[in-house]
Structure 1
Amino acid sequence: MEYDINNKALKMIQDFVVLQKQKVLEIGCGEGRMSKFLSHETQRYIAIDPDEKSIEKAKSKNLNIDFRIGTGEALEFEDSSFPIIIFTLSLHHQKSHLALKEAYRVLTEKGHLIILEPLANGEFTQFFNLFEDESESIQDALNSIENCDFKIERKEVFYTVMSFNNLDELINYPFGRKKIKKEDTGRIIKTLQQLRGSLTNVNPIHLYDDSQLFLLRKKNF
Structure 2
Amino acid sequence: MIQDQERKTLAMLLRHAAFEQARVLEIGCGGGRVTAMYEPIPALTVGLEPDETAAGDASRILRKTHVLCGSGMDAPFADASFDIVLFTLSLHHHPDSDHALAEACRLLRPGGRIMVLEPCAESEIQRLCNIFENENHRLERALGTLAGRKDHCIATEHFETDWTFKDFEDVADYAFGYYGVKDNESQRRAMRDFLGQKGNDSPLGMRDTLRLNVLVP
Q: Same fold (TM over 0.5)?
A: yes
Distance of aligned partners of 1:150 and 1:113 in 2 relative to their CA distance in 1, 3 Å threshold: farther
Which protein has the bigger helix share? Answer: 2
2:189 maps to 186
After superposition, residues 193-204 of structure 1 pair within 5 angstroms as 193=196, 197=197, 199-200=199-200, 202-204=201-203
1:47 maps to 47
2:159 maps to 158
Same amino acid, percent of matched pairs: 29
2:131 maps to 130
Q: CA deviation at 1:101?
A: 1.2
Equivalent AA in structure 1 for residue 26 of structure 2: E
Q: Distance in 2 between matches of 1:165 and 1:15?
A: 31
Contiguous gaps of at least 5 residues in structure 1: none
1:150–1:217: 8 Å Cα contact kept in structure 2?
no
Q: Distance in 2 between matches of 1:41 and 1:10?
A: 11
Q: Secondary structure of 2:76's partner?
A: coil
1:100–1:148: 8 Å Cα contact kept in structure 2?
no
Q: Distance in 2 between matches of 1:40 and 1:208?
A: 27
1:45–1:65: 8 Å Cα contact kept in structure 2?
yes
Corresponding residue pairs, total = 214
TM-score by length of 2: 0.93
Q: Secondary structure of 2:2's partner?
A: coil
Contiguous gaps of at least 5 residues in structure 2: none
Q: CA deviation at 1:174?
A: 2.7
1:71 maps to 71
RMSD: 1.5
